Amino acid sequence: MRHVLIVVWMLLCAMASANAQVSVGLGIALPGVSIGIHLPAYPQLVRVPGYPVYYAPQVDSNYFFYDGLYWVYEDDSWYSSSWYDGPWGLVDPQAVPLFVLRIPVRYYRAPPPYFRPWRADAPPRWGEHWGGDWERNRNGWDRWNRRTAPAPAPLPAYQRRYTQDRYPKQPEQQQIHGQNYRYQPRDPAVRQQQHRPEPRPEQQRQPQPERQQNDRGQGQGAGQDHGKGKD
């Protein structure tokens, strides 16, 4: 009997170890990762003055919209998605669009601690943070003629209809988006993100701890300064 119990115990340990390995593997799957953000409804989006970018003032995250995609800066990484609550794809620092990099510090609603010494009316010091190689490859990223800034992309307002109880999954998201949002990105960096491989279903909405957003403006629409998408 004692030998039987030992064998059963060893089998249970082996199963637990295998499950742990599967969990870790799923938790780091890319693209389509969970980044700890959960929006119960479409957030209020307000234009950043002078920039073709929107931010979400009532979302406790660094949450933006630019050129047809949503952008989030979380845990020192950039992510993008065509839907307001993901799934999110990791964006390489070298591939982040210039106008996303140029967003002033004051519009980051959950800035990391190293932002504190930096000017609120200037963009984060990405070269200081990401190092010399990044700075050399993105030389001049913070110099631009503000009078030539492009107009902002129209907001995908049709997504207001999809609260969490109706939030679609892939490939339904792609189909709905194509039927309701005709805008085509102008920024080459955004087009590159738009054409990345779609996440497999098992890679979406990974079981990581989520931060429930207290967005009092969610579902109320966006700021007054926005284009009109097909709704």
Question: What confidence tens digit (pLDDT) does each residue in 64-90 have?
Answer: 999 999 999 999 999 999 999 999 999
pLDDT at position 78 is: 97
pLDDT at position 196 is: 65
Summary mean pLDDT of the chain = 79
Tell me if 82 sits within 8 A of 68, measured CB to CB: yes
pLDDT at position 214 is: 52
Strands (E), the chain: 37-38, 46-47, 53-55, 62-66, 69-74, 77-81, 89-91, 211-212
Global pTM value: 0.74
Q: Per-residue pLDDT tens for 177-207?
A: 999 999 999 999 999 887 766 544 434 444 4
C-alpha to C-alpha distance for 44 and 24, rounded to whole angstroms: 34
How many degrees, rounded to 5, is the angle at CA 116 between CA 43 and CA 146? 65
Q: In 10 A of CB 108, how many CB atoms?
A: 18
pLDDT at position 16 is: 41
**How far out from the chain centre does Cα 71 lie?**
4
